[in-house]
Structure 1
Amino acid sequence: MDKRGEKMLEACESKWDIIKNFIPSWFAAIMGTGILAITSHMYAMYLPILNTVAVYLVYFNVFLFILFSIPWTLRWIIFPKNAKADLNHPVLSAFYPTFAVSMLVLASDFFTILHNIYWSKIFWILGALSMIVFSIIVPFQMFKSENIKLDHVNPGWYIPPVGLIVIPIAGGLLAPHFTGLLHELAVITNFFGWGAGFFLYLAILAIVFYRFMLHHPLPSTLAPTVWINLGPIGAGIIALINIVHNTPIIHIKDPYYIFSFIFWGFGLWWAIMAIVMTLHYIKNLKLPYGMPWWAFIFPLGAYVGSTYYIYNLFHYNIVNYIGFGLYWLLFFFWAITLIKTAISTYHGYPFKGH
């Protein structure tokens, strides 16, 4: 075979590698972009141009979802062994639910920013169903595995609980727009998502803290995942408030709001801890770019969104200042991660296998 033929063969194999090595965590980029759109819409009260930014981010996010869904789906068809291997992997399996969570985030984008209830319902229904399936499959694979070690424990394990907790974020807003049995099913799904997700989060929180305190540090490639703990906190606050606001049978709402404020306080502590731990990794252990960098974005964005909610409930200006300051940190993280991902993708690094 001549050199031209060899180059054509390499190009062909490279294209197949995109599908073969398309890891589940790509959809974390959609989660991050979607939450940035929502928080931009929230803080447009300070800078009206952020409304325009939010709209463009939603359209960009829809494009990313369609783009990523193609190799994600083809991988299950053409390379099912690779797809199943990731589902059985003690670290990568936890990132599979990002596919479902990305649809739930898009449901919130369509409802909150584009005011399109039809597409919001479509994405929410598909996302909620997918998330419920993944919330069973991923833990089950872990429960029956005999190969999981303490080295495998990492904050990425929060993702299945986070996905369940995200269900009521759009679901709480959409529930009043369903009628009859569909309305009842939506309400039950919202309570199921928050209840199952919250208590799973508490269980995994204990395991992850055990690893942090009694085991060696996370490998530098997984260092950004320390931010994921903000995901169930921020999403949990937003989801709970949306449920309480839109469930007529809940007549006394103040206790839920107080709990949300307390939960927010834990989130502020962890936000500070995540910043300190990230600086520690940068100074002492290095922080090389990888797809786990997207773990910076959605969790922080969820906490920024929850801060906006807490301010609207209690009207403490300091809370609002904290939220607006963290919003710009979020925007910085998103921009840097997007640029690094684009450069890395151009050179084909994410598709070299793992």
Structure 2
Amino acid sequence: MTDTAPQTATRLEHFHVTFFAIVMGLSGLTLALHAAERALEMDALASDIAYYVTGAVFLVITGFYAAKALRHGAAVKAEWQHPVKLAFFPAISISLLLLATASLDRSDALAEVLWLIGAGLQAVLTIAVVSGWIGTRAFLHGHLSPAWFIPAVGNVIVPIAGSQLGYADLSWYFMSVGLIFWIVLLTLVINRLVFHDPLPGRLQPTLVILIAPPAVAFVAWVRLTEGVGPFGLILLNAAYFFTLLVAVQLPRIIRLPFALSFWALSFPFAAVTIASFVYAGAAGSAAHQAIGLALLAVLAAIIAGLVLRTLRAIGAGEICKPE
């Protein structure tokens, strides 16, 4: 009989924080399905199923990562000190915020608890990560990728539920931080993509993250101002531009060897899908509702492919192994 205990321990040690990108993708699918159900005046069956599946996946991933923190604290510290993986730590708080948003129509009390924990953790992680960026550590151009949007620009997710829960002032704080860092990091990322070496294969899927900031900021803007306005249209159309830009790159990206970073494909497409439905509802635009439905079909196909490839990679032992 083969002793699998050492192998299990090794896999736990290499259970990376990037697993929380799966929760972000599934949460995005839940919210996109709910937006489609509201637009089409359908029962919330599909989004309910996705919601409970997402919650279960979040608990499982959180349990494994907590176990890693207890048994392999040095490995967690190494991830925090890693110039690329550092940016994925706020995926934990963003997962909580997305679950809070998805909980709004199901349980306001649960939504508020999840939002308070997620917003507090997001605030702490933003300060910690940005302090790491501008501190004594030396970062190279090669370390920069669109994943850097997650820690700071991810703040624009907070107001979506926060404004509906009555935390207007806090929501504007997070919105302000997110928008400022979107401008700063977008400039840096475009500079890196144009004037320096191409992203490594494992980070190529993070290009899709370019879609998320303007798409999420648009939804947050509508929730905060209860309208679209010229600035809202700028955000929405910026999201559409980056979606078209990424669509050109997508055939090349999906042919790359699979890695967990491929889950970066999911949430941005969910964000622009939701933004389309939100604008369709606010402006009564049938065209944008059609765009939302088309993007939802693409998102469903992406999620199905990611789940299949993830399960296949787990079965083949290609995940949670030394890099």
Deviation at 1:145, TM superposition (A): 4.6
Deviation at 1:47, TM superposition (A): 8.1
Counterpart secondary structure, 1:349 = coil
Deviation at 1:169, TM superposition (A): 1.0
Distance change in 2, residues 1:322/1:147 (3 Å): same
Give 1:198's match in structure 2, choosing from 179, 182, 200: 179
Q: Output the CA distance in 1 between the equivalents of 2:31 and 2:153.
A: 17
Equivalenced residues, count? 322
Cα contact 1:18–1:71 (8 A) shared by 2:
no
The Cα offsets for residues 130-180 of structure 1, whole Å up to 9 and x where unpaired, read as 1111101112122225431111111000111242111111111111xxxxx
Counterpart secondary structure, 1:133 = helix
Matches within 5 A, 1:159-198: 159-175=150-166, 186-198=167-179
Greater displacement, 316-325 / 197-206: 316-325
Give 1:260's match in structure 2, choosing from 227, 232, 235: 232
Counterpart of 1:90 in structure 2 is: 83
Q: Output the CA distance in 2 between the equivalents of 1:281 and 1:330.
A: 16
Counterpart of 1:32 in structure 2 is: 25
Give 1:275's match in structure 2, choosing from 247, 254, 258: 247
For the aligned residue pairs, the C-alpha RMSD in angstroms reads 1.6
Give 1:48's match in structure 2, choosing from 38, 42, 46: 42
Percent of aligned pairs sharing the same letter? 22
The Cα offsets for residues 18-47 of structure 1, whole Å up to 9 and x where unpaired, read as 321111111111111111111111212448
Counterpart of 2:51 in structure 1 is: 58
Gaps of 5+ in 1: 176-185, 246-252
**Which amino acid letter does the alignment assign opposite residue 238 of structure 2?**
F
Matches within 5 A, 1:205-244: 205-244=186-225
**Which amino acid letter does the alignment assign opposite residue 17 of structure 1?**
T
Counterpart of 1:299 in structure 2 is: 268
Greater displacement, 80-89 / 92-101: 80-89
Counterpart of 1:338 in structure 2 is: 307
Q: Output the CA distance in 2 between the equivalents of 1:261 and 1:136.
A: 30
**Which amino acid letter does the alignment assign opposite residue 157 of structure 1?**
W
Deviation at 1:270, TM superposition (A): 0.6
The Cα offsets for residues 59-118 of structure 1, whole Å up to 9 and x where unpaired, read as 111111110111211222221111111111111100010011000011011113xx2111
Matches within 5 A, 1:66-81: 66-81=59-74
Following TM superposition, the consecutive aligned residue runs of length 4 or more in structure 1 with deviations greater than 6 angstroms are none
The Cα offsets for residues 267-309 of structure 1, whole Å up to 9 and x where unpaired, read as 1111010010222445xxx421111111111111011111111
Distance change in 2, residues 1:210/1:43 (3 Å): same
Counterpart secondary structure, 1:158 = helix
Distance change in 2, residues 1:223/1:53 (3 Å): same
Give 2:119's match in structure 1, choosing from 109, 122, 128: 128
Cα contact 2:206–2:264 (8 A) shared by 1:
yes
Q: Output the CA distance in 2 between the equivalents of 1:304 and 1:59.
A: 21
Gaps of 5+ in 2: none
Q: Output the CA distance in 2 between the equivalents of 1:73 and 1:280.
A: 35
- For normalisation by structure 2, the TM-score amounts to 0.95
* Matching of residue 15 in structure 1 with residue 16 in structure 2: no
Query: Looking at CA atoms only, which structure, 1 or 2, has the larger radius of gyration?
Result: 1
- For normalisation by structure 1, the TM-score amounts to 0.87
Deviation at 1:217, TM superposition (A): 1.5
